[in-house]
Amino acid sequence: MKIRHTVLGISYVLMIFELSCAGSAVTNTSLVNSSIPYVATRNDAVQDMLWMANVGKDDVVYDLGSGDGRIVIAAVRDFGARRAVGVENDPNRIRESRENAQKAGVADRVEFIEGDLFTTDFRQASVVTLFLGHQHNLRLRPKIFSLRPGTRIVSHQFAMGEWKPDKSLTVRTVCLGMWGERENPFKDNPHVPDYTGNEMHFGTSDKIAMWVVPASVAGIWRAKIETAKGTQDCQLILHQQLSDVTGTLQLSGQANLTGNVVVDMWGNHIRYVFGFMDSFEVRFDGTVYENAMQGTLAVRDHDQLQEHAWEARRDNIDFVGTWEWPNAVGKPLVKLSIEQRQGHLIATYQEREKKVPITDFYNFGGGFYFTHLIGREGGGLVISENTGWLIGEGVIDSGKLLGTIEFYPYQSTYLDGPQLKKNNGLSIPSKNL
């Protein structure tokens, strides 16, 4: 094991790591379900949500926590959705929804499921609507990322933590009343799931936000690139943190160039650009399908410009095992165990002698991303110098895991006050990525 780079700060720690795999994994468990109070979405907000998602005749809309069915009914009646489904655990609301659908004349195109929205299968959705709460959105987030790339997620009022929305709309509205929320020292830190800065907490404002589920593109992609000096071997290394994708491109051969790429993702549509001074530039525009990236590549080598169809293939990797790295706060080794179960990767974090399930874990094909609040015991926190958000990502390269580990201590953020919050999101670029 080799530590490439370490940066220590008062209110965060960022580590670049290279990990070797050793051992086997253990078991994950699920979060305990919690109740969600029923608050009806105003009809004008319903229209705004469905408009923002651009709902049309080919869409299947799922409303999670559907209440009286107003979003489900509006999706097919007002926007022409092919089908709409509401998921609700209150049988009285289910009965009311079905009666409302009959009155609206859309009963043949809607369905209302009485059940738990956290366990219901909504993989058929092309649009998912939410009005739940910040923590409930976070709990759904890993499941949302298992949906087809391009699926639109629209939430009324509450956001998705550090997952930045692709679209947002703020509107003036009548006073919604008052609600309480727990004290959150990370609410202004856009790098952790507790970030609530992209939500509206004022009585006379509404915020609606939309996210597009991205394809899983992390990993090492290999292809050939034609240059003025002949055919070059190309290695594209992409790191993925939810919708944010960064990486490097390496050309080996006579060109022998390495540098960062700027990546843009929208569903399974990907574009990237790589440039070396003013003499060489690569631009790609295409689509990701499983382990294939296909599209059009434009190569400008000095005064020569070539544009042609291009395809890259991603390395097959295996995450299963136990990965170790030095603890971000200087304590004993941190261990992350990953196992394969029923086609899914399950991760467990070892805190000293305890093994704690990682509930916020994402398999991005050739790499993964996870967040974990160290010190969470049941519904509360055990506050110590080690309590805080641990956030990690990495890709596999020749049997080693390369990526970053960030740690945002709870205690220093909470005790030292707002003057240190500006340091929480400090980004340290790394040429090892």
> Is residue 226 domain-shared with residue 170, that is, in the same domain?
no
Burial class for 3, CB neighbours closer than 10 Å (0-12, 13-18, 19+): exposed
Asked which of 212, 231, 258 is the last residue of a domain, the reply is 212
Q: Please indicate, yes or no, if residue 429 is contained in any of the structural domains.
A: no
| Span 70-83, average pLDDT | 96
Position 77 in a domain: yes
Assess whether 239 and 199 both reside in one domain. no
What local confidence, expressed as pLDDT, does residue 429 receive?
Answer: 28
How far is it, in rounded angstroms, from Cα 129 to Cα 84? 11
CATH code of residue 171: 3.40.50.150
Q: How many CB atoms lie within 10 A of CB 11?
A: 22
* CB-side neighbour CA atoms (13 Å) of 347: 20
Asked which of 9-18, 88-97, 178-187, 383-392 is least confident by mean pLDDT, the reply is 9-18
For residues 386 and 417, membership in a common domain is answered with: yes
Task: Choose the final residue of a domain: 291, 314, 337.
Answer: 314
Over the stretch 108-128, which tens digit does the pLDDT of each residue have?
999 999 999 999 999 999 999
- Interstrand relation of 60-64 and 83-88 (parallel, antiparallel or unpaired): parallel
Both 290 and 351 in a single domain?
no
Same domain, 146 and 238: no
Asked if the structure places residue 414 within a domain, the reply is yes
Question: Does residue 126 sit in the same domain as residue 9?
Answer: no
Q: How confident is the model at residue 256 (pLDDT cuts 50, 70, 90)?
A: confident
Nearest residue to 97 (alpha-carbon basis) of 112, 83, 77: 112
**Any residues with CB less than 8 A from the CB of 312 and at least 6 apart, and which?**
221, 222, 223, 234, 236, 292, 293
How much is the average pLDDT of 290-294?
A: 95
Q: Find out whether 199 and 158 touch, Cβ atoms under 8 Å.
A: yes
Q: Judge whether 236 and 218 are in contact, CB under 8 Å.
A: no
Residue 329's pLDDT is: 55
Please indicate, yes or no, if residue 30 is contained in any of the structural domains: no
Q: What dihedral do alpha carbons 61, 65, 71, 72 form, nearest 10°?
A: 50
The tokens describing 372, both together, are: 């974990």
Transcribe 336-385 into DSSP letters. EEEEEETTEEEEEEEETTEEEE-SEEEE-BSEEEEEEEETEETTEE--ST
What separation in angstroms does the CA of 367 have from each of 90, 227, 273, 392? 39, 29, 21, 11
418 vs 194: CA distance, rounded Å? 15
Q: Are 19 and 145 in a shared domain?
A: no
- The answer to whether residue 432 is domain-embedded is no
pLDDT in tens, 159-186: 999 999 999 998 877 665 545 556 778 8
CATH of the domain at 307: 2.40.128.120
Q: Does 375 fall in a domain? A: yes
Number of domains in the chain: 3
Domain assignment present for residue 31? The answer is no
When computed from its CA atoms, the radius of gyration of the chain, rounded to whole angstroms, is: 23
Among the residue ranges 95-104, 343-352, 423-432, the one predicted with the least confidence is: 423-432
Please report whether residue 362 resides in a domain. Answer: yes
Whose structure tokens read 């220590």?
8
What span, in angstroms and rounded, lies between the C-alpha atoms of 361 and 419? 31
Domain termination residue (choose one: 298, 314, 330): 314
Provide the pLDDT for residue 228: 79
Instruction: Show the domain range for 95.
Output: 43-212
308 and 326 belong to one structural domain = no
Residues linked to residue 64 through DSSP beta bridges, in sequence order: 87, 130
More confident residue, 96 or 8: 96
Judgement on whether residues 375 and 395 belong to the same structural domain of the protein: yes
Model confidence pLDDT, tens digit, residues 30-54: 333 446 666 767 778 899 999 999 9
Q: What is the pLDDT of residue 269?
A: 97
Give the type of residue at 263.
Answer: V
Q: What is the mean pLDDT of the chain?
A: 81
pLDDT value of residue 328: 57
Residue 174 and residue 240 in one domain? no
Token pair 């305890």 is found at 354
Residues 72 and 195 both lie in one domain? yes
Same domain, 113 and 224: no
What does the alpha-carbon distance between residue 270 and residue 285 come to, in Å, rounded to a whole number? 6
Task: Give the pTM.
Answer: 0.85
